[in-house]
């Protein structure tokens, strides 16, 4: 099979039998960990941390030292891609990401720098190589990128947004311009993810945080189609091992049934629907990952354990489930609470498997 000591994640993503449900957590390396905040301040700021492969490796491994997690996720960001396209990414503390230059017209799209992937994003591949070496086959390394639409929202809005007025206007007024932007981002993302796979990533997640702000037809045209283009372009097997792809569209709801046909092995599910409902939408075509409400981690240990049981019960018995939150862990969570969650998955999930 694989030469990994723990290949539960890859097996579950392929819907093969497992002895218990694997667990990893979106944003598992992050500000809720005091040791992360320490390394970030040593690096100077978040972007400098992403650009330093040894420190990026150190923070990637921090959560694995504390918790019995079944995967590592490359420490980086989805916005490294538009940064490499010349938009000038910066982070204002407490204010989220911002771009010096935003996309205002079709001319700005034509003027984007098409990255020289090794030169402009090689620091990400170097981090993946260092992490893969340090993991030494203990658990798989997940690589990732944003969906073209999600990355595009930051490029068109110039940073985080509440209303997404500019990109929604573009979708309605100049759909062909938005198609062009989706294609440009998708093409770079294919090279970017294949570079991560070459460097040692053993599974890939595409983060589509904002696709579901679109109406359903526009979601299919802009977000889903461009993710399918990426999937069609990725290396799907390396050293005889399948590279499974997870697509996480937050708030996808009934669109999960469309997403189940775009060629990925698994779909991420947020907490707005139950896993048993999600399972009906995807009809055993793909595995599911999720979906405990991240706010549950602010509750008592007893409530966290109950939340784990409820999530496992909602998916039900059988293979094809990866335990995760329905979105990233937030900075206000006590690390001990995440330990309660991970331990509960280890304790309760074996009874949901027949192996
Ligand atoms: O999951 C992991 O542990 C891997 C690292 C990771 C980061 N960002 C590190 C990060 C991953 C997978 C991401 C993905 C990402 N980045 C997404 C999609 C997932 C999601 O959360 O919806 C998005 C939309 C971004 C863009 C981004 N990066 C925003 C909006 C912000 C600011 C908001 C925030 O949470 O602070 C970031 C910064 C960021 N990316 C941090 C981390 C650990 C916090 C920066 C800090 O340390 O100050």
Between CA 12 and CA 20, with CA 18 as vertex, the angle to 5 degrees is 100
Beta strands at 96-99 and 89-92: parallel, antiparallel or unpaired: antiparallel
Instruction: For residue 57, say if its preceding peptide bond is cis, omega within 30 degrees of 0.
Output: no
Catalytic: 198?
Answer: no
Give the model's pLDDT for residue 3.
84
What are 21-44's pLDDT values in tens digits? 999 999 999 999 999 999 999 999
Ligand 1 centroid to residue 59 C-alpha, Å: 13
Residue nearest to atom 42 of ligand 1 (CA): 30
C-alpha span between 337 and 317 (Å, rounded): 26
Give the model's pLDDT for residue 1.
55
Q: What is the mean pLDDT of residues 259-287?
A: 98
Q: What is the mean pLDDT of residues 198-213?
A: 98
Catalytic: 40?
Answer: yes
Q: Looking at the predicted structure, is the pLDDT value of residue 209 above 60?
A: yes
Q: What is the mean pLDDT of residues 5-16?
A: 98
Give the model's pLDDT for residue 355.
66
Task: With beta carbons less than 8 A apart as the criterion, state whether 326 and 294 touch.
Answer: yes
C-alpha span between 248 and 330 (Å, rounded): 18
| DSSP H/E element including 281 | helix 275-282
Give the model's pLDDT for residue 39.
98
The percent of residues above 90 in pLDDT, for the chain, comes to: 97
Give the model's pLDDT for residue 94.
79
Catalytic: 129?
Answer: no
Ligand 1 centroid to residue 77 C-alpha, Å: 6
82 lines ligand 1 (CB under 6 A): no
97 lines ligand 1 (CB under 6 A): yes
248 lines ligand 1 (CB under 6 A): no
Task: Compute CA distances 95 → 3, 39, 57, 98, 159, whole Å.
Answer: 43, 20, 25, 8, 9
Catalytic: 31?
Answer: yes
Q: Hey, which residues does 246 pair with through a beta bridge?
A: 205, 266
Give the mutation target among 24, 25, 30 for probing the ligand 1 site: most ligand atoms within 8 A of CB. Answer: 30
End-to-end CA distance of the chain: 17
Q: What is the mean pLDDT of residues 181-196?
A: 98
What are 53-110's pLDDT values in tens digits? 999 999 999 999 999 999 999 999 999 999 999 999 999 877 899 999 999 999 999 9
Give the model's pLDDT for residue 208.
98
179 falls in which pLDDT band (50, 70, 90)? very high
Give the mutation target among 44, 48, 77 for probing the ligand 1 site: most ligand atoms within 8 A of CB. Answer: 77
C-alpha span between 60 and 134 (Å, rounded): 10
77 lines ligand 1 (CB under 6 A): yes
Residue nearest to atom 30 of ligand 1 (CA): 96
What are 143-159's pLDDT values in tens digits? 999 999 999 999 999 99
Among residues 7, 11, 32, 77, which one is catalytic?
A: 77
Give the model's pLDDT for residue 2.
72
Catalytic: 154?
Answer: yes
C-alpha span between 275 and 354 (Å, rounded): 19
Q: Is the dihedral of CA 11, 17, 19, 23 positive or negative?
A: positive
Q: What DSSP character marks residue 212?
A: G
C-alpha span between 319 and 112 (Å, rounded): 44
Long-range contacts at 4-7 (CB < 8 A, ≥ 24 apart): 4/137, 4/138, 4/139, 4/140, 4/202, 5/137, 5/138, 5/139, 6/70, 6/138, 6/139, 6/140, 7/140
Give the model's pLDDT for residue 354.
86
Short-list 60, 57, 63, CA closest to 130: 57
Tokens 């053993």 sit on residue: 202
219 lines ligand 1 (CB under 6 A): no
């Amino acid at each position: 099979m694989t030469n990994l000591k723990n290949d539960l994640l890859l097996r579950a993503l392929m819907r093969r039998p497992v002895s218990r449900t694997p667990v990893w957590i979106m944003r598992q390396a992050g500000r809720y960990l005091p040791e992360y905040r320490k390394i970030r301040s040593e690096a100077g700021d978040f972007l400098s941390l992403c650009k330093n492969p040894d420190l990026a490796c150190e923070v990637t491994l921090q959560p694995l030292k504390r918790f019995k997690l079944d995967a590592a996720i490359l420490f980086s960001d989805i916005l490294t891609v538009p940064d490499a396209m010349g938009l000038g990414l910066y982070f204002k503390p407490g204010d989220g990401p911002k771009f010096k230059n935003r996309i205002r017209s079709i001319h700005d799209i034509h003027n984007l720098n098409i990255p020289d992937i090794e030169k402009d994003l090689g620091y990400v591949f170097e981090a993946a190589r260092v992490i893969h070496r340090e993991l030494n086959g203990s658990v798989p390394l997940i690589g990732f990128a944003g969906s073209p639409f999600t990355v595009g929202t930051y490029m068109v809005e110039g940073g985080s947004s509440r209303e997404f007025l500019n990109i929604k206007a573009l979708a309605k007024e100049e759909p062909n311009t938005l198609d062009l932007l989706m294609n440009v981002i998708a093409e770079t993302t294919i090279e970017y993810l294949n570079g991560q796979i070459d460097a040692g990533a053993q599974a890939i997640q595409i983060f589509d945080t904002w696709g579901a702000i679109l109406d359903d037809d526009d979601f299919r045209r802009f977000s889903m189609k461009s993710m399918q283009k990426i999937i069609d372009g990725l290396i799907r097997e390396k050293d005889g091992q399948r590279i499974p792809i997870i697509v996480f569209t937050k708030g996808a709801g009934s669109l999960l049934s469309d997403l189940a046909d775009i060629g990925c092995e698994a779909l991420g599910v947020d907490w707005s629907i139950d896993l048993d409902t999600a399972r009906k939408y995807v009809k055993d075509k793909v595995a599911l990952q999720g979906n405990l409400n991240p706010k549950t981690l602010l509750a008592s240990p007893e409530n966290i354990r109950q939340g784990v049981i409820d999530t496992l019960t909602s998916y039900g018995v059988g293979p094809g489930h990866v335990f995760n939150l329905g979105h990233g862990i937030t900075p206000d969570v006590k690390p001990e609470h995440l330990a309660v969650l991970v331990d509960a998955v280890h304790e309760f999930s074996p009874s949901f498997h027949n192996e």
